[in-house]
Amino acid sequence: MNKVKLMYDVVKALKEKEVFIGSLEIEGKKDQTEFFALKNEFEKNLASGQVKVKLNTKLDVDGKQIKHESISEFNLQNCCGGKHHHLRKHFHDHCKNSESNCCSGLKGRLSAFAYILRLIDKAKIEELENNALALSLNIDELPEVLMKHIHGKFEHCTANEEAQGQGHCLCLDNLMAIEKPVIAINMQLNPDKTIEKAVITAEGKQKDKLDEVHEISFRVDLNLKN
């Protein structure tokens, strides 16, 4: 099976999809103790802009348990002048002004493109019943330029805690502090190449300010109704 063609079909199917209904769950553990949990049940209509979100989060900040539940309903078509526009502008300004190589010119983009092609080539594809497909990929090496880019993207979190929230900053801080993370991606595709479910795990070691080493792990579960 042509892996590049398959990934093209997956991206094309996502691009053509107008209604997204499903759930996203994230769990973060430090030394086998959960410090972050999130569940997001969502309905998003790209044609109308209508979005419904039911969010549950649990945080452990320095031993203090924090829980948050909310249900939101809004229309993205009315947000062009609000937070979403501000966030896009922030990322654009960050890209122009930072030294994280996110705008590293033609060579940087070609290197990133070559890395993506190498990942696609490493992916394993299994044919399931009813013409469904299972795709799996293990990543044990991330280019230094990409890591700098990822770190740069999340630097704004600690600089703007009011906008992002202390708990999310804690989660991202632990994620970014993982040394040589090992990442596994598993997806199940429907016959029409749409994603039905995806599981992403990341784990590795983190050294704190006292040079003590901790085991950090994250798990992301995405389920989409088609």
Kindly list the domain boundaries of the chain, sorted by start residue: 3-98+124-225
In the predicted structure, residue 174 carries a pLDDT above the cut 50: yes
**DSSP state letters, 13-59:** HHHH--EEEEEEEEEEEETTEEEEEEEEEEEEETTT-EEEEEEEEEE
Cβ proximity of 131 and 192 under 8 Å: no
**Mean pLDDT throughout 141-169?**
54
Residues 103, 107, 110, 111, CA torsion sign: negative
- The predicted pLDDT at position 82 comes to 44
pLDDT value, residue 161: 46
Determine contact, residues 53/72, Cβ cutoff 8 Å. Answer: yes
Mean per-residue pLDDT over the chain, rounded: 79
Predicted TM-score of the model (pTM):
0.77
Residue 102 pLDDT greater than 90, yes or no:
no
Question: Whole-angstrom Cα distance, residue 127 to residue 130?
Answer: 9
Mean pLDDT confidence for 177-188: 87
User: What secondary structure does DSSP assign to 161-191, as a single string?
Assistant: HHHH-HHHHHHHHHHHT-EEEEEEEEEEE-T
Residue 73's pLDDT is what? 93
Q: Count CB neighbours of 154 within 10 A.
A: 15
pLDDT of the residue at 85: 46
